[in-house]
Amino acid sequence: MQHTTAIDSLRLHAKTVGDLKKAGHRPLPVREEMRANLLRMLAAGERMLPGIIGYEDSVIPEIENAVLSGHHMVFLGERGQAKSRIIRGLLTLLDEYVPIIRDADIPENPFAPITPGGRRLAAERGDDLEIRWLPREDRYSEKLATPDVAVADLIGEVDPIKVAQGRYLADEETIHYGLIPRTNLGIFAINELPDLTEKVQVGLFNLMEEKDVQIKGFKIRLPLDVVIVASANPEDYTSRGRIITPLKDRFDVQIRTHYPRSLDHEIAIMDQEATEFPRGDLAIHIPRFIKEILAQFTLEARASNEINQASGVSVRVTINNLESVLSNAEKRTVRLNEKEIVPRMSDLHALFSSTSGKIELEYSGEDKREDDLIDRLVNRAVLKVFDQYFQLDTFKPTIAYFANGWGVKVSDMMTSTAYLEEPKNIPGLKEALVTLGVGEQPARVASATEFILEGLHLHQKLNKEREGGRYTYRA
């Protein structure tokens, strides 16, 4: 806080290099700046990447080491592992503002300009060299790597207008600078690094190590002060993939990301990231067991040999499934004029559309239907969550009741009050509801009742018959 306050005060008064000298302020190189700010955060007990869940003992310590070492970083991981969010989060390690030469083509340290134009301005104006304050947000750039990205996009190209004005091709000032030079004094990120062509990769590693690059046959010196961070899929980032070995060597560390390693982390991410809309007077309650089923579904998908695990099963599957199931429950609540939105088991059909397209099947032998696989994964998830709450032996009276010929109908469009009689009539059901801690609110009772009946069905204690959108559980 003291550091930020001092910078804010300096910004009000420092307009030239001379003002910076009088104040005794000399900006640090980017790596030193990030180091200093991280050490300050560690000393104050602050989290470096708030909002990143599940990496506290794995990825984040490696990032801290990389920052303290001043390293270029590449993050390896499948889709949906927060790589882009982590990279953008590194922005918080930069100062809120830094001084740069006001009239230079790219951001330049007024005490150490690197372009011919910047050096000329510094020599001509001395302490009167005017500065401006560059905000933290403008010190970060990123580029999604695609095969059509050229050296000109990232590094620079000869500017035909400057040539037409009489400059020579060999003159460095004929260059129109690309994204990386324009991110000087900051952080530059490349997503899906292996998708760059080999020519661009060669230009990139020259810039990172030798601090020079060849443009149109001319060798240009570019001693940039920039931290380069990249992301890649591990399958592509190998000697057999699409990455050239010298570029791999220029990245100082490879940090492997991963999916949430526990159900609680998956649920915490789902809760944090799910889109929330204003719903007026309608209350929302998502039972814990529903969240556990949605999270367990994703864990089952990540463990399935029927799904291409190299492609991955993103956390977005869990997030989007919660949103879809909640929306289906919201429709029912509105149509039936109820007051509380509570998802049920009969709402789980909504996750088929939000899962399809996010998983890639492994085809071996005969074709497999995606919907059949999703259905099996849902059943496995429900069964595992059910077994965490209940012992099957406690439902002997319940099973005996159904064996006498009784049945129960459920539907995603039944009113919640229609479920209230079942706990009174079916032995053992009321006690099971107490175990789930659902209380007496009709919508919550309805959700828990469906969960219990579905668990018994999956344990092959009850049959389940479908009639349109309605299901009947019988012995």
Q: The CATH number of the domain where 53 resides is what?
A: 3.40.50.300
- Note whether 321 and 467 are same-domain residues: yes
How many structural domains are present in the chain? 2
Residue span of the structural domain in which 106 resides: 2-256
- Note whether 163 and 203 are same-domain residues: yes
What predicted TM-score, i.e. pTM, was given to this entire model? Answer: 0.87
Using a pLDDT cut of 70, give the percent of the chain over it.
93
- Note whether 159 and 237 are same-domain residues: yes
Cα–Cα distance for residue pair 91/170, rounded to 1 Å? 36
Q: Look at residues 256, 286, 310 and tell me which one is the last residue of a structural domain.
A: 256
* Cβ neighbours of 347 (radius 10 Å): 22
Would you give the DSSP letter of residue 262? S
| 59, pLDDT greater than 90 | yes
Q: What is the DSSP string of 162-228?
A: HHHTT--TT-GGGEEE-TTGGGTTEEEEEESGGGS-HHHHHHHHHHHHTSEEEETTEEEE----EEE
* Cβ neighbours of 4 (radius 10 Å): 12
In DSSP terms, 158 is beta-bridged to 175
Q: What is the pLDDT of residue 268?
A: 96
Cα–Cα distance for residue pair 250/335, rounded to 1 Å? 60
- Note whether 186 and 129 are same-domain residues: yes
Q: Look at residues 198, 233, 256 and tell me which one is the last residue of a structural domain.
A: 256
Q: What is the mean pLDDT of residues 356-374?
A: 76
Q: What is the pLDDT of residue 241?
A: 62
- Note whether 336 and 449 are same-domain residues: yes
When pLDDT is cut at 50, 70 and 90, the band that residue 61 belongs to is very high
In DSSP terms, 177 is beta-bridged to 156
Cα–Cα distance for residue pair 133/147, rounded to 1 Å? 35
Q: Look at residues 218, 236, 256 and tell me which one is the last residue of a structural domain.
A: 256
